[in-house]
Amino acid sequence: MHCRRIVITGMGVVSPLGNTPEALAQNIFSGKSGIQRFEGAFVDKLICKVAAQAKFDPADYFVKKSDYAILDRIGQMALYASIEATKDANLPLKQQQNAGVYIGTGMGGILSVEEGYETLFKKGENRLKPYTVLMCMYNSAASAIATHFEFSGPNLTFSTACSSSAIAIGQAYKDIKLGDINYALAGGTDAILAYASIKSWESIRTLADEDPDDVSASCKPFSADRSGLVIGEGAAMLVLEELEHAQSRGAPIYAEIVGYGTANDFKHVAIPSVEGQAATMQAAIKNSGLAPDAIQYINAHGTGTKFNDETETEAIKQIFGKHAYQLAVSSTKSMHGHLMGAAGALEAMITVQSLLRNELPPTINLNNPDPKCDLNYVPNQSQKIENYRYAMSNSFAFGGTGASLIFKKVE
C-alpha cells in the first residue's frame, strides 16, 4: 500500500473564546482572554473564583430538545462541534461505514455524576433520571456522535487526563494511515466546572490566584509571577481524512498531520520530568521523519504552573538544542484556560490556524519573564512568520501520558 497522507478537512468548536473556528482564531490572535470570574451558584465556596467558561446553551444550537436532553454537557458540546466540523468538511451526514469517532475526555460526565449525588444524598430522593448512567459514561459523547452520524467504524474514547484529545487525534491519524478507515471525527470534550471537581483541583494547589488588577489576566504561563492554571470547558472536533479521499470529493484541506508521538513520564504521577516530556516530542519527530530544526513553532502545554513551564522549557532545549532559541513557543492557555481532556484538540486547532494565517499566537500576561524560561514565548502580541511550514502541539498530563502532534502547512 502506498503511503497514506492524513489531512484536516473540517473543524468545529465550543470554547471560552467563541463557538466557531473563526471566532476562536480572531480572539486568539488578537490576544483576548476568555478567563473571567466564575459564574456558578457555589462561587462563594471557592478559593479560586476564576474560570474559562464557554457560552453555550444547547437550546440555542439544536432544533429539538430531544436532540440534547439525554446528554451531559460534554456530549452536547461535542455533538455540536462535530456537526459543525462535518458541515465545514462538506461531508455526507449519514451511514458512513468507513469512518470512526475518536474522543478524549478527562472526567467524562462529571456534571451528571454530581447531580446524581445531590439528588440522592442532599435532596434525599430515591430515584435518578432514567438516562443517568448514559449521561455519566465516559464514552457518552463518542456514542452520541457515532449514533447521530450512523458511523459503523471504530467508536473509541480515550481518558488520559490533559492529553486525552491529543491521544484521540493521534490514534485516528494512525488508523487512517493504516487504511482501516478513510476519515474520522477526532477531538475532545470536557465540562468539569462542578463544585466537587473544582474543590478537588483546589486541594492539590494547582489553580491560579485571581489577578488583583485584572481577572482575565490570572493565567500567566512562563512568567515569574505565575501561580497556576485556570480551569476551562469546551469541545473541539476535527475531521481527519486520507488525502486522496479528500481530494476526490473536493474537500477543503487546512493542514496535514505528519507526526504523532506518545510517551509515558513515569517519574511521578503529578510532577512532570524533563525526560518524559522530551521523549514525547522525540517520538513525534521520529514518526514524522523530519529533522528537529524543521519545527518552527510549538503550541506548548504551558499550564502556568511552576513545575510544568520550567520542565517543558528544559525538555524543548534538550530535544532542539540551539534551535530551541530559533523556534517560537507559546501557551494559548493564557487566553482560553485549561480545557483538560479537550485541551489537546483545541490547541491542535489553534496550531492549524496558525499555519493558515502565517501567524504565531501569543502568550499573554507575560510581563515578568522567568529567567528559567528563556525562549521566545511570543509575549503578549502575535507575531507574523515567513516561510512557515511545520508546527508542533504538546499535551502532557497527570498520570504521565504525553502526546505531541506535528502539522504541515498545505502548499
Number of DSSP helices (H) and strands (E) in the chain, helices first: 12, 14
For residue 360, CA distances in Å to 19, 25, 382, 388 come to 21, 11, 5, 10
Name the grid cell of 403: 502526546
CB 190 within 8 A of CB 74: yes
58-81: string of b/e by CB count within 10 Å (b at 16+)?
Answer: beebbeeeebbebbbbbbbbbbbb
Per the DSSP assignment, residues forming a β-bridge with 369 are 223
**Cα 80–chain centre separation:** 16
Using DSSP's 3-state secondary structure scheme, residue 392 falls into strand
Neighbours of 348 (CB within 10 A): 30
Nearby residues of 98 by Cβ (< 8 Å), 6 or more positions away: 153, 181, 182, 183
Q: Pick the closest to residue 105 from 396, 349, 339 (CA basis).
A: 339
Backbone angles phi, psi at 16, to 5 degrees: -65, -10
User: Across 48-125, where does the E strand assignment appear?
Assistant: 50-51, 99-104
Query: Catalytic residues, which ones?
Result: 162, 301, 338
365-399: string of b/e by CB count within 10 Å (b at 16+)?
Answer: bbeeebeebebbbbbeebeebeebbbbbbbbbbbe
126-161: string of b/e by CB count within 10 Å (b at 16+)?
Answer: eebeeebebbbbbbbbbbbbbebbebebbbbbbbbb
